[in-house]
Chains A and B, each alone.
Chain A
Amino acid sequence: MSATAWIVLAVIAALVVWAIAVYNRLVQLRNRIANAFGQIDVQLKRRYDLVPNLVEVARGYLSHEAATLEAVIKARGQAQGAAAAARAAPTSAGAMGALAVAEQALGGSLGRLMVVAESYPELKADATMQSLSEELTSTENRLGFARQAYNDQVLDFNDQAAQFPAIVVARLLGFPTAPMLEATRSDEERAAPRVQF
């Protein structure tokens, strides 16, 4: 074989090795995104486990607030169901949307419960209640951080996949850019709330 042929072969081999390295890196980053998403799921589960305990403790003090407590329990049940559906079909946009809505409802009813609890000093002073509300705060934070970590992973992946020359491999082997999680999904949610008296 002539020298030119050898050079061409060497260049092709180098290109292949490089493409393999890029591909492996992208796969690794994509798996990290999946892992980060799993973290969010873990924290959601923790929140569902926490709610019944919270309601049980509050029930002893809030006998006149049965409606608030029922709303929390109901929202929890719906969110749990939506989460199971989303887990079964992680690629379905509909299931993810439903989960987001159910989560929002649960967050709202928990927030209302906490506001009600504010006006019951004995409930606020209850040691178990203090611990539970600390756990709830922590769970909300963990959810927030897990979402933030997910977005950081997505940023990392998108940075790697969109930079030249890696973008050539990413396009050829079908790595689409990953979507960021957004706190709000619809235009109505993003609009500022109107207060009426």
Chain B
Amino acid sequence: MRFWDHQLSARSETRRLLLAFALAVAVLVAAVHGALVVAWLLMVAVLPVHLPFPAGFLAVNVGVSLMLVLGGWWVETSNLRAGGVKLAQRIGAREARPSVSHAEQRLCNIVHELCIAAHMPQPQVMVLPRTDAINAFAAGWDASDAVVAVTQGALDHLTREELQGMVAHELSHLHEGDTRLKMRLAGMVFGLELVYNFGDEVRERRGLAWLFGSAIMLAGFAGWLAGRMLKAAVSRQREYLADARAVQWTRSRDGLGGVLRKVMAQRRDTPAGYERVTHQGLAHPAVQHMLLVDLPGAGAMERWLDSHPTLAERVQRIYGRSMQPLPLTPVNEPPEAARRAGTVAPGAVTLASLVDPFARL
């Protein structure tokens, strides 16, 4: 994989999309005004009375729609701003326990290793204990409340190298500020949605208001749809960027590549349907866009509104050709210590205290 090139292209693609996003907002504001002018002209044509064109029509229209978009953006962004750790706890993640479980000791070590490779402060490490699906997510507004959470399924099925690839992908999202970027975009889309809702409300008053309301609604809907599509496109580029980062930091294709191929196998081999694998907590809308792989089950329009590229496309980029799914077998370096919790007597000298001088403090 030529990871430097892939990173460059993902970055410039993101910039282009963000520009398009700003343009979409400007077009929406213009469209609201245009639609209202058309509605006004229609009204004047239909009504027998002669009315002068309202003074300050443009300023009011632009002002109101901008206020809705930016206000909605601000409100939603401050809603999403709750810390990463809090968010992770809300969906059922708990802190990793390196002194009790071998698998979690390995996970904490891997996060530490990759933070050295990535030159970044260490995020909180968490585990989603009741989730069998192989997955992970990162969250947090800034370094102080950044968190990386990994599912039990990933701990059970991934080798050390694959876990490294997975963690590296999530660290890239934190390192590149994707959490913030995606929260801002989500806020913006919410603002665009507000314009649509406002139109809907105006329309309910019947009569002439119906005409104006419909005009606003139409413009709002177009803006909202464009916003969602652009947001999803940005998100897909950030996934490619994170994949390329993971390969750069681990200097291995088989790490992340193996994870994606095992997810393919998990989806294919689950007899009762992949939906039956527990995805507990992962369906929360606030973490959806920060997952390693997205959840299955999108309907029509999925290609345009998906936050992640398909597994096949990502594997294709990583290896330069398509690859078969990897069979899912419990890893050779068994995580049984996780199951046998309690092997360490309370008060015993744990390994962490032998190795890490700060653990004893």
Contacts and interface: CB of A to CB of B under 8 A. Distances in A.
A145 B343 contact: no
Interface of B: 102, 105-106, 109-110, 112-114, 116-119, 160, 164, 249, 251, 337, 343-344, 351, 354-355
Interface of A: 36, 39, 43, 46, 49-50, 53, 127-128, 130-132, 134-135, 137-138, 141-142, 145-146, 148-149, 152
A134 B113 CA distance: 12
A50 B249 CA distance: 25
Contact of B354 (A39, A53, A138): A53
A131 B105 contact: yes
Given A134-B106, A141-B113, A142-B113, 6 more contacts: A46-B355, A127-B337, A138-B106, A142-B112, A145-B249, A148-B251
B116 A39 contact: yes
Given A49-B355, A127-B343, A134 B116 contact: no
A149 B117 CA distance: 5
A131 B113 contact: no
Given A127-B343, A134-B102, A138-B112, A148 B354 contact: no
Say whether chain B's binding surface is mostly helix, strand, loop, or mixed. helix
Contacts of A152: 119
Nearest to A42: B116
Contacts of B105: 131, 134
B119 A131 contact: no
A50 B355 contact: yes
A145 B114 contact: yes
A148 B117 contact: yes
Contact of A131 (B117, B160, B351): B351
A189 B118 CA distance: 29
Contacts of A148: 117, 251
Nearest to B351: A131
Nearest to A52: B354
B109 A138 contact: yes
Given A53-B355, A130-B337, A137 B160 contact: yes
A131 B102 CA distance: 7
Enumerate the 6 nearest inter-chain pairs by beta-carbon distance, A residue then B residue, closest first: A138-B109, A145-B117, A131-B351, A145-B116, A141-B113, A142-B113
6 contacts: A127-B102, A130-B102, A134-B109, A135-B351, A138-B109, A152-B119
Say whether chain A's binding surface is mostly helix, strand, loop, or mixed. helix
A114 B160 CA distance: 18
A195 B354 CA distance: 39
Nearest to B115: A145
A114 B119 CA distance: 30
Contacts of B119: 36, 149, 152
A123 B277 CA distance: 36
A149 B112 CA distance: 13
A138 B114 contact: no
Nearest to B250: A145
B336 to A, nearest CB: 10
A55 B344 CA distance: 20
A39 B117 CA distance: 10
A132 B117 CA distance: 22
Contacts of A138: 106, 109-110, 112-113
A126 B164 CA distance: 25
Contacts of B112: 138, 142
A138 B119 CA distance: 17
Given A39-B116, A148-B117, A149-B119, A128 B110 contact: no
A132 B116 CA distance: 20
B114 to A, nearest CB: 7
A48 to B, nearest CB: 11
Contacts of A53: 354-355
Contacts of B344: 127
Contacts of A49: 355
B87 to A, nearest CB: 28
B116 A135 contact: no
Contacts of A46: 355
A130, A131, A137, A152 pick with most chain B CB within 10 angstroms: A131
A36, A39, A43, A145 pick with most chain B CB within 10 angstroms: A145
A146 B355 CA distance: 19
Nearest to A140: B113
A142 B119 CA distance: 12
A36 B164 CA distance: 21
A151 B180 CA distance: 29
A160 to B, nearest CB: 16
A135 B251 CA distance: 21
Contact of A149 (B116, B351, B354): B116
B197 to A, nearest CB: 48
A39 B118 CA distance: 12
Contact of B351 (A132, A141, A146): A132
B340 to A, nearest CB: 9
Contacts of A134: 102, 105-106, 109
